[in-house]
Structure 1
């Protein structure tokens, strides 16, 4: 069957039939969907590809806090009904981060600049309401794998995952002005004014130098898919 472009002309595949819509609604009546219903926070921010800093994307994180030290995020390319799941980010406290092996720490990024600069926002949530959570998140580190590179026009999630990094104050890690302006206009906000309201937010006592690896070493990370010997299934008596 020939592939067509789906919803909003962005995704390969046939449009959903009325029968499929009815089946979905029926399933909702009988299934709890408990894990999904735990996502209680929407964050709009930006991410850069570790292997190509020129590629920058607006991201929409739907956040589930599992405990005081750990959050998990489903990341979409938009917050409307046509949003596509483009990756996953894990967020951990500085306490958990410091316990990671040094080689693992290199895959993580800090969140302090992203939050203090007003790049990280909770759309439609008053700053005073978001502030307590922002105080916690400013002291965290994230690891974000992008599995669907929609910014290059991919209509399907093809290729290997890409490691993403957070914006930083360094010139190479700054978000491009048109991208930021477009986001701010969409939500009717000012990142600059939000930044002014966050001057008292503080990060970890010291941002671990193994995080934000590109910032100190000028190198990113890229995955290379290779063929590997397959382990045989263990035979049980």
Structure 2
């Protein structure tokens, strides 16, 4: 079975597109009707859009721009569907969970290795909330700078995958080390799209404090030079009675 670092074989459909027919008028009407009568409460609970960047844990040469739509279960836990853009036809490429420092510190060391820190990502102006004034963003960013995230990518669109194929890939956050720096061209394109200047963003975040210490288990590649790739393996199925 496919590994998260294994490029898939030939895929159906035209080059560069997701396989499938154009949506019919009837389907559009049905979808609109469903939106009116159904609550869609989890979706409506999304309160923020963050644009940032991520690397594959098994290949730091691959940098992607990501769009996270944040909903908060409580003050210490956020969950974010992640898309490849903020357009109406954006592809859902993964999910990130974000936890506060004290929850992270309570996790076992082996689990902590799957999580990344957010301090550099925020201080360096890589993480932005498009359309929000920087003064308003800073209120949230002061808290987020001390959080940790676990991000699973389920659709590697940057390598041309037209479908979500193979095993999920663990993602990591940008860092100040050379290996963890984002391709400057990606940042320029981001700045142009949202009409911002990274230098101004960085200057405005000068007062945001880092955690006193960032766990040695988080950002695992920084301390070990090793990444993670996920393999799907066949195993014996556990069986049991269908009812208690």
Bin the TM-score by the shorter chain. over 0.9
Q: 1:234 to 1:125 in 2, by over 3 A?
A: same
Question: What is the DSSP-based 3-state SS (H/G/I as helix, E as strand, rest coil) of the residue aligned with 2:31?
Answer: helix
| Partner residue, 2:104 | 97
| Partner residue, 1:46 | 53
Q: 1:235 to 1:158 in 2, by over 3 A?
A: closer
| Partner residue, 1:37 | 44
| Partner residue, 1:220 | 227
Q: Deviations over 1:97-134 (max 9, x none)?
A: 00000000000000000000000000111001111100
- Long gaps (5+) in structure 2: 1-11
Q: Distance in 2 between matches of 1:10 and 1:99?
A: 43
Preserved CA contact (<8 Å) 1:5 1:14: no
Q: What TM-score do the two structures reach when normalised by structure 1?
A: 0.95
Q: Deviations over 1:82-107 (max 9, x none)?
A: 10000000000000000000000000
Q: Distance in 2 between matches of 1:172 and 1:121?
A: 22
Q: How does 1:8-157 map to 2 (within 5 A)?
A: 10-157=17-164
Kindly state the Cα deviation for residue 236 of structure 1 after the two structures are TM-superposed.
Answer: 4.5
Question: What is the DSSP-based 3-state SS (H/G/I as helix, E as strand, rest coil) of the residue aligned with 1:47?
Answer: strand
Equivalent pairs counted in the alignment come to 234
Kindly state the Cα deviation for residue 235 of structure 1 after the two structures are TM-superposed.
Answer: 5.1
Q: Which moved more, 1:32-41 or 1:201-210?
A: 201-210
| Partner residue, 2:8 | none
Q: Distance in 2 between matches of 1:120 and 1:193?
A: 13
Q: Distance in 1 between matches of 2:64 and 2:152?
A: 13
| Partner residue, 1:158 | 165
Q: 1:235 to 1:32 in 2, by over 3 A?
A: closer
Once superposed, which parts of structure 1, at least 4 consecutive aligned residues long, lie more than 3 Å away? 3-6
Q: Which moved more, 1:27-36 or 1:226-235?
A: 226-235
Q: 1:5 to 1:63 in 2, by over 3 A?
A: farther
Q: 1:19 to 1:5 in 2, by over 3 A?
A: farther
| Partner residue, 2:180 | 173
Q: What TM-score do the two structures reach when normalised by structure 2?
A: 0.93
